[in-house]
Amino acid sequence: MNDRTRGMLEMVAAMVISGTIGWLVVVSGRPVTQVVFWRCAFGALVLVPVCLARGYLRPGSITLRQALLAVAGGVAIVANWLLLFSAYEGASISIATAVYNTQPFMLVAMGALFLGERLTVAKVAWLLLPFGGMLLIVQGKPGAGAAHGNYLLGIALALGAAFFYALAALVAKQLKGVPPHLIALIHVVVGTVMLLPMALRADLPAGALPWATLATMGFVHTGLMYILLYGAIQKLPTHLTGALSFIYPIVAILVDRLAFGHHLHLSQIGGAALILVAAAGMTLGWPWRGTLPWGARKPSA
């Protein structure tokens, strides 16, 4: 098996694992702060030996400035997890995941504002498309048993999660040369320390099911997923990594339908499709003209 094929398999596995985390969050039945705490704590148990084996914990592997930036990124990642997991209750896993995929546009906007990155006409066009998708989703009906206010709150929480993910990605741009496994370890350690006071005040999970779901989220959906993801990124070209990343929202929507019976209304399907198509166009660098029906070139005479 060559590196490209192995990288594709690792990326597919990482995205499938990511797509099932919402199911575990709901099934665990635990408060979101406790879910994120144990995810970080169990994830650290996987990433510490990996970083030790690779020599990433030796003195000089990271500068003080880089460590502080990684800690700031960790705070943003933890906030991202807290908001996204909280969004599932009001907006459902499917809608929260679709709205969460607005983060590439937020990252592009932040890059233009803070890093002076140039905005092309194509990028601006892709930035406008998801707003239509968001309007369609907001006009949709909440899932069974959810009040409209909770639905809108879920959408707002998912947007907040997307913002903090984009912020973490912006910080990561300043950490070139730092091993990604080490960055991931710093993130989960930051999360463990941040949420430890709340975890100590809350009652410990009771029963095998909550512990099994929390351990799975830490060992598999954090430790193993990061290892697979970064292994794939090292082996694959950027465009292929970006293309395969869209397996995640598709799996999340399918899991939500199969596990909880949540189905999307027509306007929600249209809104999610607009967001995902725009995210794909932005990530993969599709030209605006010729990609969508209303952007197609007229045939020459």
Task: Report mean pLDDT in 10-residue bins for the chain, 301 residues.
Answer: 87 94 93 95 95 92 94 96 94 89 82 77 76 77 57 92 92 87 95 92 85 96 92 80 83 90 83 82 68 44 34
Angle at 19 (CA atoms; ends 13, 23), nearest 5 degrees: 130
d(CA 288, CA 22): 33
The amino acid at residue 201 is R
Q: What is the dihedral of CA 92, 99, 81, 113, to 10 degrees?
A: -170
d(CA 12, CA 244): 7
d(CA 189, CA 44): 6
At 43, is the secondary structure helix, strand, or coil?
helix
Q: What is the pLDDT of residue 28?
A: 92
Q: What is the pLDDT of residue 145?
A: 45
Phi, psi values for residue 41, rounded to 5°? -65, -45
pTM listed for this prediction: 0.85
Q: What is the pLDDT of residue 275?
A: 82
Angle at 163 (CA atoms; ends 92, 260), nearest 5 degrees: 10
Q: What is the pLDDT of residue 301?
A: 34
At 205, is the secondary structure helix, strand, or coil?
coil
Reduced to 3 DSSP states, what percent helix, strand and coil does the chain have, rounded to the nearest 5? 80, 0, 20
CB 227 within 8 A of CB 6: no
The amino acid at residue 97 is T
Q: What is the pLDDT of residue 209?
A: 92
Q: What is the pLDDT of residue 149?
A: 62
* Residue 14: other Cβ atoms inside 10 A: 25
The closest alpha carbon to 238, from 180, 279, 284, belongs to: 284
